[in-house]
Amino acid sequence: MGVPLDTSPEAHQMQIEAYRRMGGHGRIAVVFRLNELAREMAKSGIRSRHPEYDEEQVHLAYARLVLGDELVREAWPGRPLVQP
């Protein structure tokens, strides 16, 4: 993996060193936090596009984005597919 186009080689090296100092548990914590932030951003986008949705509809719309129609139908039978 090369240096990202928006990052100087020096900054990239500092980031790699910081991740190494974190150790495995620290890096895993970062991954989980980034995943949580991405999930919340996606849900925020759904709420922005569909202000009429309640929290269950937001959850179902997010599930549809992540899981796809087939799995959502299996997991929540009888529920309509909600537009993300």
pLDDT score of 76 more than 90: yes
User: Could you tell me the pTM of the whole model?
Assistant: 0.77
Write the DSSP string, the chain.
----TTS-HHHHHHHHHHHHHHHHHHHHHHHHHHHHHHHHHHHHHHHHH-TT--HHHHHHHHHHHHH-HHHHHHHSTTSPPPP-
Amino acid 42: pLDDT: 98
Q: What is the pLDDT of residue 65?
A: 96
CA 46 to chain CA centroid, nearest Å: 13
In the chain, where the domains are located? 9-75
pLDDT (0 to 100) of residue 1: 66
Q: Over the stretch 17-73, which tens digit does the pLDDT of each residue have?
A: 998 999 999 999 999 999 999 999 999 999 999 999 999 999 999 999 999 999 999
